[in-house]
Chains A and B, each alone.
Chain A
């Protein structure tokens, strides 16, 4: 009977759990890791990026994004949209072709793979015969032309992938008609390029690797013209009026050829090596686009003088007298140009460049060609991310001030709206404003709008100005003096090199109500900052804190303290530092918290912790937690793995330095890189040789780093007796020890002059000695205490101070609830002893029921070292749900995880991408978007399209154009993001 009732209760609880918790990976923020291909559809206004891991990502208007993953774990080498359709074709490294489509489903579009195909040659033919090297999506939308390594062109009907054998263009057919005097006729090599005549889709130009180009008539199945270029071919471009063909070559030259009806004009009309005289690198891609009035735009990538600038990643843009070599910080994958006008045939408006580490969009219609700020695909890793901090539900006031401060930093960006506007974002407006703060290796903190699908950069704080660093201000000034040739211009923000690794940000805490921020770094520096809307020149007062407290016999072998600038520093509007604490020894700060109501900051390192009063700018408390026998804690670098990382970083830095100073010796660099790689490999191999075995030993007080402070917590609770609550500070260490201090704050009117005091109240040594990763005080109702100022701002009900408080100590191994004020164990949940996983990250979250708005409960969100996420109920510490989330081998992913207060979380899936996930049924941020097929797709024969998607309709049926206008009107009436204004920016190319 009793058993039966119990069962009933459990199933009721199970139902409730379903209403409260559910696990979803919702969206990936940031820039795709290792992009390998770029595609663009002018008609859909969608951008596609393929990656080396086989992912394909589509982006349109902000919020419109799709993601697909090929089953094969092969790199995507080419992406082509079918002209005027919602289909796209991808070519993978394994020579397979895949057809994807955007299919409507319940009012939303989803990206689906609908077919796959691999060319099969005649029996016995070598694989090179069918190895695809060039793809042309024909303007008809029904054909794919596939050029292969063997020099053949196969024609395939899509979407069914039916081979049209009779229409194939074999190498023999072409070779037979090649003029006898052409040097390379014996071996034309592979098909390097396929392009369509913009005014006659029946004509295509086939470019062979050897240099020869053949204009082929698809209907008559014969060659119309031969263009006998003799340099290795890199790319081909057919100008829009159909009268010229541009070819670019491996020697850094490009040529312009007249297209004649007859095979007469064999001479190149114009040939040029733009950065000539000395040997140049290949021009890998060339584009020429007309303007309505005036000279055309010529754009090409590469072509730099091999010896002096062979290591630069450049795209040259030439328009009239303006000639700029855009100098990117990473390798160029591909680029295209967006054009004005409804049919995307107008003036070039924006150049979109995909480089290895970021997407850069350049406004070609504003003087000086400024960069347009990207609303998505932002390189999170412009400097390596070292930590992150999430703040939910930002008050509007603070939000606006941060945005204002950020706008002042963005003045060098173009004012133009984002030019890629495809699809409609149907996601509801985010319910609240959320900030994600990322700390970086170069000492910057980036503020991101994390409310919605687009992780948008709001503001960037730099802490380097407070310190003297090794940076030579002239070091990065290779911007080029006047008259430098080539005329370089640095673009992009990806700069992975930190000038001083000590600047790295390790911990961040922002109080969203007061606007106080504290950040702490690698060299034991703790900065307290205040949001100021005006620029201010001030000196930052530094206070050195000796955490060793007279412990003797230690020698710090790590880095030195940062050198503080003593003169006043001008800080721009935004967060401005006004107080600085420097720990001695200057070990990395491992825990940090701020209480804006009490105006206190607590910080901890591997040696101890301290409490700093930022109003009076003095120390209240210093406690050394170091075990006298712990020598390792004095070493500095934490582990062997780290030191490998460090040595690698140093190697790269050396290389970079040499790159700056010895531009002409880039060969040397690769040698050094190889050397560094070899060293790393050797070290890894050595590590692998050691037999994989694990020691089974109980933890003891003599273990290393037991004194490392893992967590700090402020609470207004009952420490001495159950009738008087008082402010308190709690600290948890790696050795399973919890320290509690009672704080005495002077009354508000004397806050500025009477001292704050702290006295030790409790010390708890957990018997299992596992690291303490979290401390939470629960009020009389069992609810976690609110944040400072939360109650004062009427955003939380005041905590229950009548009932007895409880202390929740979360160690890596278990969750344990103690009574307060007398500390005795009440409940616990063992994790490690039961399933061998350990707590890596923990947060307190509020879960709402999906069924009724009035019900909700708090819980702990937990990430384990096995990569699983759990929800643990409060205050009874019972395991609620468990989901696999991150691969357990992905140590950096697990370490990067950060939870929100509403059951969502972020973790890095690559150095440049956050995966967002949700444990809540109510708080989900995921893309919901719709892409409609272009209305005139049925009449696509009327459109001329460049193979890469550049469309140039010469004669468009009036009605379809009208229909499109109507559609636009309708969209804007529906409140869609696509507005008329943006229509002007539509365009093409590829």
Chain B
């Protein structure tokens, strides 16, 4: 059958209607070309979005979400087309179509672009993961391995741990053993916003290392030492009462993978269990090398005038102006953004303009 598709260009508010085969929608690239053709805007970079069943504006930029979009049509599918410049993605490169990531991304955004223009849908590469559930296939069902990407985030990790006792099943029956538990979540913190950790969850591992036999202080230090890429394996307290007690929290790992399930959480990205493990491990390696990225400032010793007062930000500013890629130079705003974020996490910000060319340490030479 044919689907009627409503489409809208915010430039001139043009409306077109056309049809696509629902069963065999084809490739995204073909669809993209089709759109450009229909609107006669072949020389323009556009961003395509659609409104899903909840009225959220979601992007169409690869085969997967294209299929998904088509399948949600009932029967009309509203498609929104915006010029790339308008959605302000120009800062991040020009060939957005070819840079794809295999991650299902969701962003809450009601169809209220005009009312709240500051909330926009971004391209997948503009997102960064915030948290994920990983290793679902290898862990017991009662455990959950949560990764918190502190990296680049303004948010504090925001949780507390405490000593406690946990009950273990042993050959001699039930036995009480000391354990480490989450004692508090800071409102608005990363841990709370992911919804994957809860007060009284027992902490079993930190970055793959068991915490049994370790003191509260040791576990604290381990977590802080891993804070840039913290992977906590917990035994959630709400095992049995998942549905009842965790209505606001995405419960078991399987359910939370549905992007629609996360609509209540701004900037939340939950990768599904099946999809993530390979991707996550790849990402972990990135982070591992990334973590090495201490900032080194090497002064030119030939210029004796340069005393110690030159601040970090100042020197980096110079450096970025001189060497960063041309796209950056156009936009002072984004540079400032980078510099301001440098204080909290320079590595992340620097990694962007340098395109991750230097794996081991972003060494900047004046």
Indicate which residue in A698, A720, A761, A835 contacts B227 across the interface (CB closer than 8 Å).
A698
CB pair A765 B220 closer than 8 Å? no
List residues of chain A with CB within 8 A of the CB of B214: 835-836
Q: Is A120 an interface residue (CB 8 A)?
A: no
Neighbouring A residues of B365 by C-beta, 8 Å: 822
The A-B contact count (CB < 8 A) is 147
28 interchain pairs (CB within 8 A)? A693-B162, A693-B184, A694-B217, A695-B160, A695-B220, A696-B191, A696-B223, A696-B227, A696-B230, A698-B228, A699-B227, A760-B310, A761-B301, A762-B299, A763-B297, A763-B299, A764-B294, A764-B295, A823-B363, A824-B361, A824-B363, A825-B292, A825-B294, A825-B361, A830-B225, A832-B221, A836-B219, A865-B217
Give the residue name and chain of the A residue nearest to B300 (CB): A720
Query: What A residues does B312 contact at CB under 8 A?
Result: 763, 765
* Majority DSSP secondary structure for residues of B touching A: mixed
Is there a chain A Cβ closer than 8 Å to B96's Cβ? no
Residue B17 lies at the interface, judged by CB distance under 8 Å to chain A: no
Binds A, one of B111-119, B127-135, B151-159: B151-159
Contact A832 B307 (CB under 8 A): no
The CB with the most chain A CB atoms within 10 A, among B209, B221, B222, is that of B221
Contact of A835 among B222, B304, B360 (CB under 8 A): B222
Binding site for B on A (CB under 8 A): 623, 691-701, 719-720, 739, 741-742, 759-768, 770, 813-814, 816, 822-825, 828, 830, 832-838, 865-866, 888
B183 within 8 A of A: yes
The 6 closest A-B pairs by CB, nearest first: A836-B218, A698-B227, A832-B225, A694-B220, A833-B225, A836-B222
CB-CB under 8 A from B293, the residues of chain A are 767
**Which chain A residues border B184 with CB–CB below 8 Å?**
693
A838 and B215 form a contact (CB under 8 A)? no
Given the known inter-chain contacts A764-B294, A766-B294, please indicate yes or no for A838 contacting B361, CB distance below 8 A: no
Contact between chains at B363 and A767 (CB < 8 Å): no
Are A694 and B297 neighbours in the complex by a CB distance under 8 Å?
no
- Residues of A within 8 Å of B90, CB to CB, are none
Contact B308 A623 (CB under 8 A): yes
Q: Which of B299-354 contact A (CB under 8 A)?
A: 299, 301, 304, 306-308, 310, 312, 343-344, 346-347
Contacts of A813 in B (CB 8 A): 221, 225
Nearest Cβ in chain A — how far from B336, in angstroms?
Answer: 18
| Chain A CB within 8 A of B78 CB | no
User: Nearest Cβ distance between residue B362 and chain A, in whole angstroms?
Assistant: 10
- Asked whether any CB of chain A lies closer than 8 Å to the CB of B8, the reply is no
Q: How far is the CA of A833 from the CA of B223 in the complex (A)?
A: 7
Is B38 at the interface (CB under 8 A from chain A)?
no
Residue contact B291 to A698, C-beta cutoff 8 Å:
no
Q: Are B220 and A833 in contact (CB under 8 A)?
A: no
B137 on the A face (CB < 8 A): no
A760-B294 contact in complex given A692-B216, A696-B157, C-beta closer than 8 Å: no
Please indicate the chain B residues that have their CB under 8 angstroms from the CB of A741 in the complex: 308
Q: Are A762 and B294 CB-contacts (below 8 A) given A691-B162, A823-B363?
A: no
Residue of B nearest to A812 (CB): B221
Is B160 touching A694 in the complex (CB atoms < 8 A)? Answer: yes
B207 at the interface (CB under 8 A from A): yes
- Supposing A823-B363, A836-B221, A836-B222 touch, asked if A692 and B162 sit within 8 A by C-beta, the answer is yes
Residues of B within 8 A of A836 (CB): 206, 214-215, 217-222, 225
Which single residue of chain B is at the shortest CB-CB distance from A757? B304
Known: A698-B224, A760-B307, A767-B291. A693 touches B183 (CB 8 A): yes
Which of A698, A823, A833 is the one whose CB lies under 8 Å from B157?
Answer: A698
Contact A696 B161 (CB under 8 A): yes
The smallest C-beta distance from A349 to any residue of chain B, in angstroms, reads 54
Instruction: Give per-residue flags for B210-249: 1 if the beta carbon is below 8 A from chain A beta carbons, else 0.
Output: 0000111111111111111010000000000000000000
Chain B residues with Cβ below 8 Å from A694 are 160-162, 216-217, 219-220
Q: Give chain A residues whose Cβ lies under 8 Å from the Cβ of B145.
A: none
Tell yes or no: B139 within 8 A of A by CB: no
Contact of B299 with A765 in the complex, beta carbons under 8 Å: no
Taking CB atoms, residues of chain A closer than 8 Å to B295 are 763-765, 767
Q: Is the CB of A762 within 8 A of B308?
A: no
- Residue numbers in B under 8 Å from A761 (CB-CB): 298-299, 301
Tell yes or no: B29 within 8 A of A by CB.
Answer: no
Residue pair A700, B294 in contact (C-beta under 8 Å)? no
**Contact between B215 and A888, CB atoms less than 8 A apart:** yes
Residue-wise interface mask of B (174-195) relative to A, using a CB-CB cutoff of 8 A (1 in contact, 0 not): 0000000001100000010000
Is B221 a contact partner of A838 (Cβ separation < 8 A)? yes
* Cβ B225 vs Cβ A692 within 8 A: no
Is the CB of B147 closer than 8 A to any CB of chain A?
A: no
State in angstroms the CA–CA spacing of A866 and B214 once bound together: 10
Bound CA–CA A758/B191 (angstroms):
46
Question: Which of A691, A697, A768, A888 touches B291 (beta carbons < 8 Å)?
Answer: A768
Q: Would A697 and B224 count as touching, CB distance under 8 A?
A: yes
B298 CB contact (under 8 Å) in A700, A816, A823, A838: A823
Contact of B296 with A by CB under 8 A: yes
The complex places the Cα of A766 from the Cα of B191 at a distance, in Å, of 25
Q: Which chain B positions have C-beta within 8 A of A699?
A: 224, 227
A311 and B300 alpha carbons, distance in the complex (Å): 69
Q: How far is the CA of A894 from the CA of B190 in the complex (A)?
A: 35
Q: Closest residue to B148 on the A side, CB-wise?
A: A696
Q: Which residues of B contact A696 (CB under 8 A)?
A: 157-161, 191, 220, 223-224, 227, 230
Nearest CB on A from B216, distance (A)? 6
The residue in chain B whose Cβ has the minimal distance to the Cβ of A828 is B292
Question: How far, in angstroms, from A813 to B308 measured CA to CA in the complex?
Answer: 27
**How far, in whole Å, are A698 and B230 apart by their CA atoms in the complex?**
10
Q: Please name all residues of chain A whose beta carbon is closer than 8 Å to the beta carbon of B217 when the two chains form the complex.
A: 694, 836, 865
What is the CA–CA distance of A510 and B294 in the complex, to the nearest angstrom?
A: 34
CB atoms of B301 and A719 under 8 A apart: yes
Q: Please determine whether A700 and B161 come into contact, CB atoms closer than 8 angstroms.
A: no
Q: Is B143 interfacial (CB-CB < 8 Å)?
A: no
Within 8 Å of chain A (Cβ to Cβ): is B7?
no
In the assembled complex, the Cα of A719 lies from the Cα of B347 at a distance in Å of: 24
The yes or no answer to B64 lying at the interface (CB within 8 A) is: no
Most buried by A among B157, B209, B361: B361
Shortest CB-to-CB span from B195 to chain A, Å, is 17
* C-alpha spacing A828/B289, complex, angstroms: 11
A837 touches B221 (CB 8 A): yes
Residues in B neighbouring A814, C-beta threshold 8 A: 225
B184, B222, B230, most chain A CB atoms within 10 A = B222
Tell me the minimal C-beta distance from A422 to chain B in angstroms.
45
With both chains docked as a complex, state the minimum distance between the C-beta of B194 and any C-beta of chain A, in angstroms: 14
**Is B286 interfacial (CB-CB < 8 Å)?**
no
